[in-house]
Structure 1
Amino acid sequence: MQLHSYIKQQTQLSEKAIQNTILLLNEDATIPFISRYRKEMTGNLDELQIGEIVKFKEAFEAIEKRKKAILKALEEQNVLSSELTQKINNSKDLIALEDLYLPFKKKRKTKAETARLQGLEPLAKMIMSQRVNDLEYTASKYTNKEVDSIEDTLEGARFILAERINERTDIRNNIRYQLERFAQISSKVIKAKKDNEKAQKFKDYFDWSESLNRIPSHRLLAILRAEKEGFIRVKLEIDTERTLQKMEDRIIRSNNECVHQIQLAIQDAFKRLLFPSLSNEALSIAKEKADDAAITVFAKNLKQLLLGAPLGEKRVLAIDPGFRSGCKVVCLNEQGDLLHNETIFPHAPQNQSFDAIKKISSLTEAYQIEAIAIGNGTASRETEQLIKKVHFKNSIDVFVVSEAGASIYSASKIARDEFPNYDVTVRGAVSIGRRLQDPLAELVKIDAKSIGVGQYQHDVDQTKLKKSLDTTVESCVNTVGVNINTASESLLSYVSGIGPKLAENIVQYRNENGSFSSRNEIKKVPRLGGKAYEQAAGFLRIKNAKNPLDDSGVHPESYAIVDKMAKDSKIKVDDLIGNKDILQKINLQNYISENIGLPTLKDIIKELEKPGVDPRAKAKAFAFDANIKTISDLRIGQLLPGIVNNITNFGCFVDVGIKESGLIHVSNLSDTFVKDVNTIVSLQQQIIAKVLEVDVVRKRIQLALVK
């Protein structure tokens, strides 16, 4: 099967769209670039559809690579027939390929191999032919020094038969079907670990059983984690009697002495070879599906977090709260530069709240602070209450900001390079403040896995997870666009076509030559060639450039079209931008060319109407219930303001202003069935939740969504 046909079969997309997309991918075009600036070639595919093409392209290439390796191995063994070659070439998945290769695969010394060396293969063939009338007499002919009894010869022959049965594709596929449709997964606690404190979070799975094909991804991952940590044992079960009968129906064709030996071989093959191998395979497939589901949730959460509402270019006072070590306070200017830092000690044991209030008041006035960001970790609520006691001369909004991953950033090389003369506490406070100003610009500096959204991120395939998260970050960065004159090296590295090395070169060029004055100047950056410029230019913004299009999502390759539109409208480009009346009257049919069609022209008009506008919402201040300070303050029936801080397949977690987050189970999100939690709530959404249940001992809170 050809690559295009394989992808079409998997995605149902048009062959032309697939063909052109692959062509672009082979030219190292990125997904954001293809989706945004090559719509005519792809038939207007979006990033998700292009991502699917990428995924199945890689899957096809992996299959083809394995085919070549298997064909080479078989050729070296001199066992490659034209029929086998055709079967291998026609295979569409790795499992089918491995089944074909299994009989020829070099094995460690097996019971069957030992039996062959003892000269028992002819006996095994005769038994399988089911034509032997006097089996005991026939078996006696094969006794020798190594197998000196009839019983031993028959056992050796059965080992050979069991291996052959194990290698039969039809039998393997039938057992796979049984596992896929009817397997039960069960778990039992290891008695010695039953009372272990760490095991208690897996208490629900101490005696658990359900259908493998129905188990939700989060539950499977939880069970497998509990097994990995040594608290439970997990096994798969199917109807063994039914499966053995189906195997016999496929193999046994007579009713003589051979039948019993074949039955014993079938039982041995199933118990010793087939079921252990195929049940592991089934569990691996289920785990892979669970991984994919968890990674999808993680990617959705990360996208929402990265595209979270920025406060924008405002002066911010940020506080990393603490008790004994005090609260680290920093003042940042509109660009996030550090202006001032010091430590205050308003809480126990020092209790210098009066001095702290006085200091906060003076700092907000001295540095013309417009907003305050408080980290949501230890002493966050107490610090928030302290800030509310400060009498500010001007109106100042107070925000509680997630600290997730801030400690990772503050100890990183990126942070050390940014603030070589400050310790980790100052860097952490700066990160909190910058997250309020622009979550995307700050969070790209942290390994996405450390941000703390999603479910079971440490249990899933780490290579897949990293790839998915990197793709998500790249998509978000290019969706928003990047100011090339203020962006950090980390942010620039995610711009289409740039990468870490070119990002470093851009920053170095900027430091040596000052701000970029035009997109054209970007070409002067060392090692940034024409291809990289083509991929990146449309996503890079230059404020106050001579050409106003340089601060828009219009690609430089389309500037001439905009110039023509302005000329035909008898106005300057500057006057065309933002002029909806004129833009709506433009007949786009007049500007269609061989390379530019209506999709791109519509994008250009949309961009000209609101050039460079940030697609994200604006940050809104939020206040928790001041009366709720610990889990003990909660009462069933209370209505609480909260912020969604994590989303999973089984519901969402809500920060209600205390250490423990509450869970709104998917069944309590709506009166109707909810297939996807993300259709009801989004990360960082401000909601009202009702308390349904409080378990102080297990520190669990059950909530229901009110609004």
Structure 2
Amino acid sequence: MTMSSEISIAKELNIQTKQVQTTIQLLDEGATIPFIARYRKEMTGSLDEVQVAAIRDRIQQLRDLDKRKEAVLKSVTEQGKLTAELESQIRTAATMSALEDIYLPYKPKRKTRASIAREKGLLPLAELLLAQDIRQLQPKAEAFVDAEKGVESVEQALAGARDIVAEIINEDAEVRNTVRRVLEKKGKFVCRVVAGKEASAQKFRDYFEWSEFIKDAPSHRVLAMRRGEKEELLSLDITVEDVDVLPQIEKRYIKSVGEAADQLQLAVQDSYKRLLKPSMETEMRVLTRQKADEEAIKVFAENVRQLLLAAPLGAVSLLAIDPGFRTGCKTVVLNAQGSLLENTAIFPHNGAGGEAEAQKTINHLVSKYDVGAIAIGNGTAGRETETFVRKLSLTIPIVMVNESGASIYSASEVAREEFPDQDITVRGAVSIGRRLMDPLAELVKIDPKSIGVGQYQHDVDQNKLQGALDDTVVSCVNAVGVELNTASKQILAYVSGLGPALAQQIVNYRQENGPFSSRKELKKVPRLGAKAYEQSAAFLRIRDAKHPLDASAVHPERYALVESMAKDLKATVQDLLRDEQLRQQIDPKRYVSEEVGLPTLHDILAELAKPGLDPRDQFEQFSFTDGVNSVKDLRVGMRLPGIVTNITNFGAFVDIGVHQDGMVHLSQLANRYVQDPREVVKVQQKVEVTVIEVDEQRNRISLSMKSGDTQPRKRQDRPERQTEKREKRSDNNKKRDSNGGDMATKLAQLASKFK
């Protein structure tokens, strides 16, 4: 990688070149993003995970570009056409599209009208047209008439020459860049419903007669239109006015008036309409798709992050219910570690007899196992089951749990390994209960795409999506840390430096040798070498270990430093962990060295104060409004509690307990201008919403989070209203409190004791 590339990345990210160089070196040596961000702050200048990931991604793009440059140079050299100037252009190309524009004239191609004209010997005539220094074109053209070569007339000779000129114009890098800029600035998406498919395309009716500038189209609209096109319900075109393009090309090529200039004008028009326009429109389709994909993936990854880092209830015995009507409600009891103790089925929705028997069963299980909370899946019969359980007047938290993906887990290989003797209904109920205990530990067992918090996640580039989601899960797992002696192989696989194979080795070692007593013991795990130990050890926690720091996020390479701090105070490491006054006597500046700077020292002191602190929020109790169980129960003006289930660029979806999430549009999120929904809400946040519109026919619910807003919303029939320019919000606007509504004190206290 060249110095110029490193300087370029530094400028793009607004950081120092040295930071880029060091980060690249660490990545190339096999360091992970969480490790670099947490434990190599002195080397990187305290870059965070987002910045390290940006360097990794950008350097990969540039390396791919360099690889392509070498292939282009090899191809042009083999053709004997490489000049010093061309080599310089190739080596300095800043983007893949610029490189491909330069290479286009030399790229091996199938037979074209221009190549056929060249074979007929018409290249000199094309060069005469381009030179524009002939007064009498007819005599010159007549010289190229040759029946043996297939040129029967002057008109055919000129047509062939124009074909050559058209291809030259199409392969002109500057012209292509000009057209590209015009398309970016003035190009439009034009969307229409396919004739005769109006009825089946109702979900896309906003796009039946729709156009907007490409530069203004947000990602969700691009993806929606592309989905409609893919389903053959919409036609989608990219257009630009000829008058915005042709004069610029003509200005570059037509330098005079006369017969040659007239021929050039025809060639320019042909080149643009036959070659340039289709090619550049296709490129623009790809670019807009990539941009929309990137934005949708970013939204999805952030939603997944928020869901993975949702507040855990903690280690508490739990009763979990996977609701159902006809087939009953599968009910399981889990101990505080999430192990299955008992399972049964209840039928509270099958008449008075079934309800009475279900009451006895629930009360018996709660008493028998000293159950501390009840988790109920939010799918079919969820609200009805919640109503039934609440009527039992139990004094423990009753929580609705998002069950998206639980059915996928229950049929997975992971679930079969965990519960080989149980059917899928039992596995699904167990998953619902474990999600309440520890969302992160349970959700890592399923494909994040199945969690149900995405924006057109099935329409975007699946490889890029998978990469972004893997990064997100790795980031979340390592931010929280993993209990080495109880973690599943699925969550261990996401720990920095491990992966599925080493995770399985750790589980095997644990089964054969019992619990780990120290982090050092990891070195005895087969195939877990020095590098894997360096990268993983600090993210693995051991409660009640021989060394007190094994339960913290302090890296083993810094144990000696902490022991030195304790020794200087004539104390032990355990004393430092217990005594705040002792810790306050530590002057971090005394311990600065070539390897350890203040950033790491401050991190160490923070860990000593709260070793192994879980960064996730504390669990809060929540319940939906009684009596509001379906869309039919909703009335405009109702004020309801809800939980944010999904965030998109145009707003947020909120579960209000009616089996259909409501939509809070961007304009309804707050009593101020909101540019990004994530300024106001996060996934799993508890919120208060007002019903402003109910469309039972389309099963759509419009909600508002504005205070004092009880007025029905005027219909927004046209998507363009969502992109009207607004005034920039003031810097001193306060962000809305992201903690949702106030919770009942006694319930919060009750829930917190299970942490």
TM-score, normalised to structure 2's length? 0.92
Counterpart Cα distance in 2 of 1:407 and 1:349: 27
Give 1:391 shift. Answer: 4.3
Aligned match of 1:544: 544
Aligned match of 2:374: 372
Aligned match of 2:692: 692
Match of 1:99 among 98, 101, 108: 101
Aligned match of 1:39: 41
Aligned-pair identity (%): 52
Aligned match of 2:70: 68
| Pairing 1:151–2:155 present | yes
**Which whole-Å deviations, capped at 9, do the CAs of 1:195-219 have from their partners, x for residues lacking one?**
11xx211110011011110111111
Give 1:49 shift. Answer: 1.0
User: Match for 2:402: what amino acid?
Assistant: S
Counterpart Cα distance in 2 of 1:528 and 1:387: 49
Aligned 1:174-213 pairs, distance under 5 A:
174-196=178-200, 199-213=201-215
Aligned 1:219-618 pairs, distance under 5 A:
219-348=221-350, 352-392=354-394, 395-618=395-618
Match of 1:120 among 119, 122, 135: 122
Counterpart Cα distance in 1 of 2:111 and 2:328: 66
Aligned 8 A contact 1:523 1:529 in 2:
yes
Aligned 8 A contact 1:373 1:401 in 2:
yes
Aligned 8 A contact 2:307 2:683 in 1:
yes
Aligned match of 1:141: 143
Aligned 8 A contact 1:645 1:655 in 2:
yes
Counterpart Cα distance in 2 of 1:595 and 1:5: 25
Give 1:10 shift. Answer: 1.9
Aligned 8 A contact 2:495 2:539 in 1:
yes
SS at match of 1:528: coil
Counterpart Cα distance in 2 of 1:118 and 1:9: 51
User: Match for 1:573: what amino acid?
Assistant: V
SS at match of 1:352: helix
SS at match of 1:324: coil
Counterpart Cα distance in 1 of 2:248 and 2:76: 31
Aligned match of 2:8: 6
**Which whole-Å deviations, capped at 9, do the CAs of 1:300-328 have from their partners, x for residues lacking one?**
11111000000110111111111111111
Q: Relative to structure 2, which stretch is displaced further, 517-526 or 283-292?
A: 283-292
Counterpart Cα distance in 1 of 2:584 and 2:264: 80
Aligned 8 A contact 2:182 2:244 in 1:
no
Aligned 8 A contact 1:324 1:350 in 2:
no
Give 1:283 shift. Answer: 2.4
Give 1:67 shift. Answer: 0.4
Aligned 8 A contact 1:6 1:60 in 2:
no
Give 1:351 shift. Answer: 6.6
| Cα 1:448/1:271, change in 2 over 3 Å | same
Counterpart Cα distance in 2 of 1:651 and 1:289: 19
Give 1:50 shift. Answer: 0.8
Q: Relative to structure 2, which stretch is displaced further, 250-259 or 141-150?
A: 141-150
SS at match of 2:245: helix
SS at match of 1:478: helix
Aligned 8 A contact 1:323 1:349 in 2:
no
Give 1:9 shift. Answer: 2.7
User: Match for 2:110: what amino acid?
Assistant: R
Counterpart Cα distance in 2 of 1:460 and 1:232: 18
Q: CA RMSD in A?
A: 1.3
Counterpart Cα distance in 2 of 1:596 and 1:241: 63
SS at match of 1:342: strand
**Which whole-Å deviations, capped at 9, do the CAs of 1:599-618 have from their partners, x for residues lacking one?**
00100000000111211122
**Which whole-Å deviations, capped at 9, do the CAs of 1:126-171 have from their partners, x for residues lacking one?**
1111123222332222223323122222211111110000011111
User: Match for 2:702: what amino acid?
Assistant: Q
| Cα 1:214/1:281, change in 2 over 3 Å | same
Question: Structure 2, unaligned stretches of length 5 or more?
Answer: 708-740, 742-755
Counterpart Cα distance in 1 of 2:410 and 2:155: 71
SS at match of 1:702: strand
User: Match for 1:41: what amino acid?
Assistant: M
| Cα 1:204/1:80, change in 2 over 3 Å | same
How many residues align? The count is: 703
| Pairing 1:129–2:131 present | yes
User: Match for 1:172: what amino acid?
Assistant: R
Give 1:349 shift. Answer: 7.5
SS at match of 1:192: coil
Give 1:677 shift. Answer: 0.9
Counterpart Cα distance in 2 of 1:583 and 1:324: 61
SS at match of 1:108: coil
Give 1:560 shift. Answer: 0.8
Aligned 8 A contact 2:485 2:542 in 1:
yes
User: Match for 1:169: what amino acid?
Assistant: A
Counterpart Cα distance in 2 of 1:523 and 1:344: 49
Counterpart Cα distance in 2 of 1:350 and 1:646: 37
